[in-house]
Chain A
Amino acid sequence: MDRRAAFFLIAAAACLAVVPVGVEKFRAVAVVTAVVYAVLAVLSFLDHRSRRGHGR
């Protein structure tokens, strides 16, 4: 497992975790940040997989 992708997923989860307890006005900020981290996680995973494939 790509550690960086895992880190980004944890960051996305942390952003989502504050959504229910946060104020309504800024929930969108948390959701957008979570989505950004999710995308970064996917990109990082793809990068990691392609590098491994290239290494083989």
Chain B
Amino acid sequence: MRFRLVPTDDRFFALFNDSARNAEECAHRLRDLLADPTLEGGLTRVIECERKGDQFTQAILHRLDTSFVTPFDREDIHALAEEMDDVVDDMHSVAALMQVVSLKETLPELVEQGDILVKMAKATVDLVERLQSMKEAKPLLEAIDQLESDGDAVYRRTLARLFSGEFEALDVIKEGPRHRHGGGPQHAGGHLRRGRVHHPQARLGRPMELGVFAVVVLALGFDFTNGFHDAANSIATVVSTRVLSPRWAVAWAAFFNFVAFLVFKTHVANTIAKDVVTQDVLTIGVVFAGLVGAIGWNLITFYLGLPTSSSHALVGGIAGAAVVRSGSHVLVSEGLRKIGMFIVLSPLIGLALGLILTLVIQWAFHRYRRVERLNRVFRRGQLLSAAAFSLGHGGNDAQKTMGVILAVLIASHHVGPHADVPLWVVLAAHSAIGLGTLSGGWRIVKTMGSRITRLQPVGGMAAETGAAATLFFASSSGIPVSTTHTITGAIVGVGAAHRLSAVRWGVAGRVVWAWVLTIPGAASVAGVTSLLVRALG
């Protein structure tokens, strides 16, 4: 038995099939009329199709008005129905014009256009039959494109012939309008071809300024809370070792969060915007649902006390919303495998680096006796390591927000599909994360270090440097990673350099749970949100 997660009204597809077949029938009738303008009842036969087309359009629009859940976006259904209707209307206009000018015979080029129109209509019927799955649609789209080019060529050839002096002026006036009327077939074909972008798998939707604005504000809000919460990661050790007061430590971290845009390019943002799901499925609704899924999951795990990753929640959210909207084939395997790989690797690399740095420092200075002086050096060194970690944090986490905003700008046609992140987005994202860190981070410093293992200045510096190096690598390679998981891994590494019993495994174990749960959890919340967004139209 077939299981459906989303209830859909498949009757729409049958109506579109009927409408497309009617357009094909109309094309045949017009072609017959073009071949023989004196054909008995030729115009009447075309008018019959035109009326049928109106009925199909009305049926589709009525169904649209009375359906709570539709198989694809409402505005796309509306636009496709109107386009199909326009095609038949245009054919009717050509036939009516032939009668108005009392045409007795036509140019062979016009018959040729009629043949192209018939082929185009046939291809459109085949395409509309695939509307539900969109499988093997590409060859048909290419064929329609080619037919349109053929129609253009015939049109230009006909115009050249009409104005060559071969015909009387009156004949030119009679023939001309049918070509000016979009050349009849090719104009209709143009509608058919344009109809292709209105299929459910294609990203559509006219610019929704309010929607775009809402998603951008939500994304920046998400970024702000990210800075607010993750400030503890970069300043906990600086504060606990009393190198800086909490307020100054937060200002320090916020500054380096902000200036990260000068250091890192926008590879991570591009990964989020382009390598999680195919771009054609990214609509404002999908991005909105993905963002709500990520925020919702963060709130749930905050309540449950799980050290979740905002980054993975965001990836899971966008993936979940897109899959619910269009199916699992929209997932970009390469991008998701890259992200999945580093869900596991980033804490382990941070751990290894934290451990190795600790060992190197301990081996380098184990004979040094002026411990107090050495500790002073490492305390100051923590300023640099905390700055480096804040830089890495800003570089990786702010870019996730940029990726979300880039996705919504692409979806709303504000920028092209291959565009890079606009400068205002870069500045806004870094400002949001920096302000988030600045405004409230000091209140929630819970000394990440002491929660996992007790850290000395040297350990704090090793952990931050190890985590910063991991983040630098990830950011420059376009890999969105969890900054929280990375610093957690690095702190565990510092603890493990001494003995495993120094590590509080409960916290580390919860990180592993967060690995497993975050993406499916956020995807589920986003999926439900996507259904709600869709149901609300």
Which chain A residues have a beta carbon within 8 Å of chain B's beta carbons?
Answer: 3-4, 7, 11, 14-15, 17-18, 21-23, 25-26, 29-30, 33, 36-37, 40
Known: A3-B500, A4-B496, A40-B355. A23 touches B348 (CB 8 A): no
SS of B interface (majority): helix
Contact B355 A15 (CB under 8 A): no
4 other A-B residue contacts (CB within 8 Å) besides A11-B351, A29-B345: A14-B348, A23-B338, A33-B348, A40-B352
B47 to chain A, nearest CB (A): 59
Count of chain B residues near A, Cβ 8 A: 19
Contact B337 A22 (CB under 8 A): yes
Contact B352 A26 (CB under 8 A): no
1/0 per residue, CB under 8 A from A, across B307-342: the answer is 000000000000000000000000000100110111
Contact B341 A37 (CB under 8 A): no
B27 within 8 A of A: no
Please list 16 pairs of residues, one from A and one from B, whose beta carbons are closer than 8 Å in the complex, sorted by A's number.
Answer: A4-B496, A4-B499, A4-B500, A7-B496, A11-B351, A11-B352, A14-B348, A15-B344, A15-B345, A18-B341, A21-B337, A26-B479, A29-B345, A30-B341, A36-B356, A40-B355
Contact B340 A21 (CB under 8 A): yes
B327 to chain A, nearest CB (A): 22
Contact B337 A30 (CB under 8 A): no
Which one, B477, B499, B500, contacts A26 given CB within 8 A?
B477
SS of A interface (majority): helix
B238 within 8 A of A: no
A18 to chain B: which residues have CB within 8 Å? 340-341, 344-345
Known: A3-B500, A40-B355. A26 touches B341 (CB 8 A): yes
Which chain B residues have a beta carbon within 8 Å of chain A's beta carbons?
Answer: 334, 337-338, 340-342, 344-345, 348-349, 351-352, 355-356, 477, 479, 496, 499-500
Give CA–CA (A1, B248) in the complex, Å.
Answer: 46
A29 to chain B, nearest CB (A): 7
B349 to chain A: which residues have CB within 8 Å? 29, 33
Give CA–CA (A4, B348) in the complex, Å.
Answer: 14
Give CA–CA (A25, B267) in the complex, Å.
Answer: 15
Give CA–CA (A36, B351) in the complex, Å.
Answer: 11
B157 to chain A, nearest CB (A): 51
Give CA–CA (A32, B356) in the complex, Å.
Answer: 14
Contact B352 A36 (CB under 8 A): yes
Give CA–CA (A15, B349) in the complex, Å.
Answer: 9
B340 to chain A: which residues have CB within 8 Å? 18, 21-22
A23 to chain B: which residues have CB within 8 Å? 334, 337-338, 341
Give CA–CA (A45, B503) in the complex, Å.
Answer: 18
B334 to chain A: which residues have CB within 8 Å? 23
A40 to chain B: which residues have CB within 8 Å? 352, 355
Give CA–CA (A29, B341) in the complex, Å.
Answer: 10
Give CA–CA (A27, B139) in the complex, Å.
Answer: 36
Give CA–CA (A36, B348) in the complex, Å.
Answer: 11
B341 to chain A: which residues have CB within 8 Å? 18, 21-23, 26, 30
B496 to chain A: which residues have CB within 8 Å? 4, 7
Give CA–CA (A32, B348) in the complex, Å.
Answer: 12
Q: Identify which of B342, B344, B477, B479 gathers the most chain A CB atoms within 10 Å of its CB.
A: B344
A52 to chain B, nearest CB (A): 14
Q: Which A residue's beta carbon lies closest to that of B496?
A: A4
Contact A22 B348 (CB under 8 A): no
A12 to chain B, nearest CB (A): 9
Give CA–CA (A22, B339) in the complex, Å.
Answer: 9
B345 to chain A: which residues have CB within 8 Å? 15, 18, 26, 29-30, 33
B337 to chain A: which residues have CB within 8 Å? 21-23
Contact A22 B338 (CB under 8 A): yes
B344 to chain A: which residues have CB within 8 Å? 14-15, 17-18
Give CA–CA (A54, B500) in the complex, Å.
Answer: 20
Contact A26 B338 (CB under 8 A): yes
A7 to chain B: which residues have CB within 8 Å? 496, 500
Contact B338 A33 (CB under 8 A): no
Give CA–CA (A18, B336) in the complex, Å.
Answer: 13
Q: Which A residue's beta carbon lies closest to that of B342?
A: A26
